[in-house]
Chain A
Amino acid sequence: MGLTIDVHGLKVAYESVPVLDGTEFSVDRGDLVALLGANGAGKSTLLRCISRILQPTAGQILLDGQDLKSLKSREAARLMAVVPQETAADFDFTVEDIVMMGRFPYLTRFRKEDLHDREVVRRAMEMTGVTHLAERSIAQLSGGEKQRVVMARALAQQPELLLLDEPTANLDIGYQSMLLELASRLNREEGVTVIAAIHDINLAVHHFNRFILLAGGRVLASGRADEVITAENIRKSYGVPATTFRHPLHGVLQVSVIRGDKTRNAGKIGLRVHVIGGGEEAMPTLELLYQKGCRLSVGPVSAQDSGCRFAHFNSLPVVIVPPFTMMNRENRDEHLRLMREADAIVVPPIPFGEGNLPLFTEVEVALDEGKPLYIIDFAGLPERDYSGGKAVELFRRLLDKGASGVERVDDLIKVIKQGGGEDDD
């Protein structure tokens, strides 16, 4: 089971606008391929060329080395099955009728469905979990059920190649992963080659092991997730800045589009605020200030810190300290510069220890120069002090020099507005 596919110099144009422009790739026996790319990149067009709905104007598609054009309709339908994004269901066939239609390519004009066909249909319905719907009318089913019926029909074709064209586009997250899990199970257990056009990259990386990224009708990248899904490739193909990261829970590569920072501040506070340090504990402070429209800067943090990711993600200025090193002269100067440019400095409720206390040398300089400094949750500091009391001592001194204590993150904005107002002009 399983097919190889070779696509050579494929060209398709709609009204002389090229959609596929010399597409070239190959897929191995038993590959589980996600076809990625922006709207209009040519994903559906490519799939429809493979499923022979469209005739390419140039180029060639080989299935197991055999030219697609030389196959008869029924032969092709025995080799591959298609699950489209949506199926019309404005008629009153039962689910079993629909699945049985998957046996069409195996039936000749005068051969009727026999026991074997029924058995195949029964198994297909079982695998997709639609057995209980067998006698129901397709017109009465929900989108998710309908899509599973269509999947069952595809299975009844006993294909060696399964093409899915954005099969999850209209499904909720439960049905999405169920459908893709089904596809990957077929791939694993029966060796069926699977190619699926998919919009949701983060969903795709969970279920597929090979990725083909289309842009402008050509293959931009092809290979494993980390080879294909890079910030650079995403920017080139989807036209948006993005960042990739490993998911904190399951470690799988993920993509997130970077939020633009340009129009956000219109009509909002627009105060410039520097937030000291990072880590999970600093996130609520960062997110709140960001939401309120403050122009933030962050640091110093290490490159893997969530504060650093937040800064990159939102294109904020950030002081980055290389991992496992102390701050160097350059970092210190950069930090001091950001604090001087800010209207206010905020110390979020993060833990303190020998590692991060030294950076307060510069903070103290800024405070002495008259920058407003806000310390969140001073009362809870002893629980977060891993420096044997040095942090508490330091912060007391800062408060004496004019820093303000703020009880909760939520109060911060109000206080900064008042304090910042006094300091300006």
Chain B
Amino acid sequence: MTGRLTGKSIQSRGTKFTRPLLMVVLVLLLFFSALSAMIWGAVTIGWKNVFAILFDTLPFYQSETATGIAPVYKDILLQIRVPRVLLAAAVGSSLAVSGAVFQGLFRNPMADPYVIGISSGAALGAVFAMLGGFSLAVGGFGAVPLFAFFGGLATILLVYSMARVGRAVPVMTLLLAGIAVSAFLSALVSLLTYFAGEKLHQVIFWLMGGLGGATWLQVRVMLPYAFVGYLAVSIFSRELNAMLLGEETASNLGVDTEKVKKILLAGASLLVAAAVSTSGIIGFIGLVVPHFVRLVAGPDHRFLIPASALLGGSLLIATDMVARVIIAPTELPVGIITALIGAPTFMYLLKKRRKLRYFGGGG
């Protein structure tokens, strides 16, 4: 555990060990969900073989077990499952972290990664690319993820410039502008979908989100964005804590609120745009995961952000695995599974704990 987690000041609830313990649990959870996702699928690969194949890829190491495994298993694991697990981890973490940031920034428990319209912008871009049938490809990428990525970022810029008053960007205006723009873009998406014709299935499937056909290339492109975005928001987690007390108070405490807002918004948007462009719109993870963590460990973003990243990653790996195996060899869109599993669990916790910590004022 890192030193900051053992500081007494942030031992806000439970015993002194709640946070370090939770961190250990979350790391183990990530490990085991990744392992199971590598074991199960249309074909099962035993865990010993999984380890053997993985270790065999290390330089200067020859696994004796690995030499006896059929090459097709190696290909399934290394070319299909491992990139898919990594991509699920990156997308899940990005959604959970950006959800935490948006909820904190807007001081609103309803906020999720898509709250200010990135998803509608990305969806419009993606649907546009699908219907246009563009064959454009940059660096091995198809048109759909590219259009989705830039559609999402363009939406954020539009919303941001709409909400700006002089130098300042009031968060409430930002939220409202986001809702308005989002509604408009969603209408356009519906319009395009209506005329999608034979491409309807492709469009619907993309909108529901999924990680099918994950490649190493996607992993290599996604990871830097996820990393940069995560770094940007986690460096400013102390500022985000102060922002929870209201912008004026944060400013009185020495936070350069306008600068911090810009950085957090940019970082979180980058995370979401990257996630949406690789996997479509996967709901629920970004909304629910930060709440889970707050319920257990409180609102301190210095813990909330890394913990949400771990939990979000594990959750998407696990649900994606379920989506793959439940009606194998066909796949369900993973968004259906996240909602089916996440919503009842969340309702149970909500009922049990009576109130949402962090937004406890009303309850």
Q: Which of B342-363 contact A (CB under 8 A)?
A: 357-362
Contacts of A93 in B (CB 8 A): 12, 241, 244, 298-300
Q: Does any Cβ of B come within 8 Å of A396's Cβ?
A: no
Q: Which of A119-174 contact B (CB under 8 A)?
A: 121, 135, 137, 139-140, 153, 157
The reply to whether B359 and A91 form a contact with Cβ atoms under 8 Å apart is yes
A73 to B254 alpha-carbon distance, docked (Å): 5
A281 to B220 alpha-carbon distance, docked (Å): 93
Q: Does any Cβ of A come within 8 Å of B3's Cβ?
A: yes
> Which are the 6 A-B pairs with shortest beta-carbon distances?
A77-B254, A90-B361, A105-B254, A92-B357, A74-B254, A94-B12
Q: Does any Cβ of B come within 8 Å of A104's Cβ?
A: yes
Q: Which of B324-348 contact A (CB under 8 A)?
A: none
Contacts of A180 in B (CB 8 A): none
* Residues A139 and B361 in contact in the complex (CB < 8 Å), given A76-B254, A92-B298, A96-B9: yes
Stretch of A79-87, A338-346, A349-357, A402-410 at the chain-chain interface: A79-87
A82 to B13 alpha-carbon distance, docked (Å): 28
The reply to whether A88 and B358 form a contact with Cβ atoms under 8 Å apart is no
Contacts of B13 in A (CB 8 A): 94, 135
A135 to B362 alpha-carbon distance, docked (Å): 20
Partner of A84, one of B248, B255, B358: B248
Contacts of B254 in A (CB 8 A): 73-78, 104-105
Q: Does any Cβ of A come within 8 Å of B253's Cβ?
A: yes
Q: Does any Cβ of B come within 8 Å of A379's Cβ?
A: no
* Residues A139 and B238 in contact in the complex (CB < 8 Å), given A53-B251, A105-B253, A118-B8: no
Contacts of A97 in B (CB 8 A): 9-10, 12, 241, 298, 300
A157 CB to nearest chain B CB (Å): 7
The reply to whether A73 and B4 form a contact with Cβ atoms under 8 Å apart is no
Partner of A113, one of B9, B246, B249, B360: B9
Contacts of A53 in B (CB 8 A): 248, 251-252
The reply to whether B253 and A91 form a contact with Cβ atoms under 8 Å apart is no
A59 to B297 alpha-carbon distance, docked (Å): 47
Contacts of A82 in B (CB 8 A): 249, 252
What would be 8 A-B contacts, judged by CB atoms less than 8 Å apart? A90-B360, A90-B362, A92-B359, A94-B12, A94-B13, A101-B253, A104-B255, A137-B357
Q: Does any Cβ of B come within 8 Å of A202's Cβ?
A: no
The reply to whether A92 and B299 form a contact with Cβ atoms under 8 Å apart is yes
A76 to B360 alpha-carbon distance, docked (Å): 32
Q: Does any Cβ of B come within 8 Å of A89's Cβ?
A: yes
Q: Which of B231-258 contact A (CB under 8 A)?
A: 235, 238, 241-242, 244-246, 248-249, 251-256
A281 CB to nearest chain B CB (Å): 54
User: Which of A98, A113, A139 gathers most chain B CB within 10 Å?
Assistant: A139
Partner of B358, one of A72, A77, A91: A91
Q: Does any Cβ of A come within 8 Å of B294's Cβ?
A: yes
Contacts of A87 in B (CB 8 A): 245-246, 249
Q: Does any Cβ of A come within 8 Å of B132's Cβ?
A: no
Q: Does any Cβ of B come within 8 Å of A177's Cβ?
A: no
CB-nearest residue of chain B to A80: B252
B210 CB to nearest chain A CB (Å): 35
A51 to B251 alpha-carbon distance, docked (Å): 9
CB-nearest residue of chain B to A97: B12
A48 to B360 alpha-carbon distance, docked (Å): 29
Given A77-B252, A118-B8, 7 other A-B residues pairs in contact with their CB atoms under 8 A: A91-B245, A101-B241, A104-B254, A105-B254, A135-B12, A137-B360, A139-B360
Q: Which of B247-288 contact A (CB under 8 A)?
A: 248-249, 251-256
Q: Does any Cβ of B come within 8 Å of A107's Cβ?
A: yes
The reply to whether A112 and B294 form a contact with Cβ atoms under 8 Å apart is no
The reply to whether A118 and B9 form a contact with Cβ atoms under 8 Å apart is yes
Q: Does any Cβ of B come within 8 Å of A52's Cβ?
A: yes
Q: Which of B1-36 contact A (CB under 8 A)?
A: 3-4, 7-10, 12-13
A236 to B133 alpha-carbon distance, docked (Å): 75
Partner of B242, one of A81, A89, A104, A118: A104
A104 to B171 alpha-carbon distance, docked (Å): 22
Contacts of A101 in B (CB 8 A): 241-242, 245, 253
A121 to B254 alpha-carbon distance, docked (Å): 17
Contacts of B255 in A (CB 8 A): 73, 104
* Residues A73 and B246 in contact in the complex (CB < 8 Å), given A101-B241, A137-B360: no
A356 to B326 alpha-carbon distance, docked (Å): 106
A81 to B245 alpha-carbon distance, docked (Å): 15
B242 CB to nearest chain A CB (Å): 6
B353 CB to nearest chain A CB (Å): 11
A203 to B362 alpha-carbon distance, docked (Å): 33
